[in-house]
Structure formats: structure tokens, C-alpha cells
Amino acid sequence: DVKVTQSSRYLVKRTGEKVFLECVQDMDHENMFWYRQDPGLGLRLIYFSYDVKMKEKGDIPEGYSVSREKKERFSLILESASTNQTSMYLCASSLPPPGNTEAFFGQGTRLTVV
Amino acid sequence: AQSVTQPDIHITVSEGASLELRCNYSYGATPYLFWYVQSPGQGLQLLLKYFSGDTLVQGIKGFEAEFKRSQSSFNLRKPSVHWSDAAEYFCAVVGMEYGNKLVFGAGTILRVKS
């Protein structure tokens, strides 16, 4: 059974803290993604990685960074958490085109910044 | 810029009625197209996908979608809606023009009247 695992389901952090969200996949996928999901806005792409140590900015990268040191692990870092980063964060992985590019998602991390 | 548009934020249908959810994308070549569903408090589930071939694709739970290149659309349909179909539905696109990123629409919330 394919699996994308996010390290926490719920997190509460204080403003200004550095926050790490971890994601691990066991499918040997090249692509990994971080999204945030907010009501009415859908899933907005924060960062995308297509290989180890390779990354691209998504639509809303400001205030975030990422790390991919190993193929199976993709970390999202909030350098200095702010209240407007309170959201649901979703990680996903997939193979690149051509072929089956279906993405598999983790269960999400609901982050509250107080 | 590339985009995925779901023009209907909310749709309400009666149980047993037919359903069509719209999705349009701005794109050059043939995209990889997906529909995902998210029930309240749940993760994302893939309903169906289109990579190539027959432009009418069948998915799970009785859903189907049709790719129309001339209209840049990938609308989701179901002939008879069940109360359990109430959820949020997301259209998503992958392709070279997006840098192989998986880009989502803002979602359509489906309500089912009994």
C-alpha cells in the first residue's frame, strides 16, 4: 500500500518560532509537493521538488523554505511563523510525466500559529 | 500565467439529480488532468484521471469526466447524485507548461438536498 506520511496531524506554535513540517514517501517518487489548503482558495502550491536537492517555487513561497536531502523526505520550513500561516498543510508525491503522474497525498498537518 | 479555474464555488443538487462540475485550464499542449474529492475532515481521494486516449474517462463512485481540447475543459459528471457525494471537488492539472507542477483549482463544494 502506497504511503505518504506527514509527521504531525496537529501542531500549535508561537509567532516567531521556526517550524519544521516533515513528509516521507515510500514509493520512490521523484516529485514531491507542499501545499497549503484554505477555505475558498483550494490547494495552493508552496514548493515543488523534482529530485534530491532540487526545488522550485510554487505560487506562495514567501515565508517558507524547503529541504530535500533524501529522495523519500521533503521538509517544509517556516522560518519565522506568523498567524497568517495558520492553515492545513498537505504533502504529496508523484512520478514525473510521461506516464502515471497520479499524486498521492498525506493526511495533512493542521498548523495553528498563536 | 497557468491556471485552473473551477467557476462554481458552491453547487446544490437534489438527490437523484444529475451533476456537472466545471473545470477549465489555461494550457498549451495536452495536459494530465485529475479530479479529486475531499469529504469533510478527510484526505484527498482521486476520482479519475486523464493522460491520453479516449477523452471520456470513467472513475470511481460512478463519476466520469470528458476532456475537450477545443474548450480547454475537463468537466466532471455523475448521472444520479447520492447524499454521500456531498464533499468538495478539486480539478488539477500537470504538464510541461507548468514545469511538471501539480496545480489545483479552488474547488467546488457540492451540497446534496434530500
- Residue A98, classed as helix, strand or coil, is coil
pLDDT tens-place values along chain A, 114 residues long: 669 999 999 999 999 999 999 999 999 999 999 999 998 899 999 999 999 999 999 999 999 999 999 999 999 999 999 999 999 999 999 998 877 889 999 999 999 999
What is the per-residue DSSP string for A41-87? TEEEEEEEEEETTEEEE-S--TTEEEEEEETTEEEEEESS--GGG-E
- Domain locations in chain B? 3-113
Cα separation, B104 vs A87, in Å, equals 17
Q: Which of A43, A57, A56, A47 is nearest to A87 (CA)?
A: A43
Could B104 and A33 be called an inter-chain contact, meaning their C-beta atoms sit closer than 8 Å? no
The per-residue pLDDT for A45 is 95
* pLDDT confidence bin for B27, thresholds 50/70/90: low
Q: Please name the member of A48, A92, A97 whose beta carbon is closest to the beta carbon of B32.
A: A97
d(CA A40, CA A37): 9
User: Please, which residues bridge with residue B24 across strands?
Assistant: B5, B73
- Under 8 Å CB pairs connecting chains A and B tally to 61
Checking if the pLDDT of B15 tops 70, the result is yes
Query: Pairing between strand B73-78 and A54-57?
Result: unpaired
Q: Do B46 and A102 touch (CB under 8 A)?
A: yes
Give mean pLDDT, residues B65-85.
95
Does residue B74 surpass a pLDDT of 90? yes
pLDDT of residue B28: 62
Q: Which amino acid is at B18?
A: S
Contact B100 A107 (CB under 8 A): no
- What is the CATH architecture of B3-113? Sandwich (2.60)
For all residues of chain B together, what is the average pLDDT? 92
Closest Cα in chain B, distance from residue A42 (Å) = 4
Report chain B residues whose CB lies below 8 A from the CB of A100: 49, 51
CATH number for A4-113 (one of 2.60.200.20, 3.40.190.90, 1.10.287.3510, 2.60.40.10): it is 2.60.40.10
Contact A86, A14 (CB under 8 A): no
Determine the residue of chain B that is closest to A48 in CA distance: B101
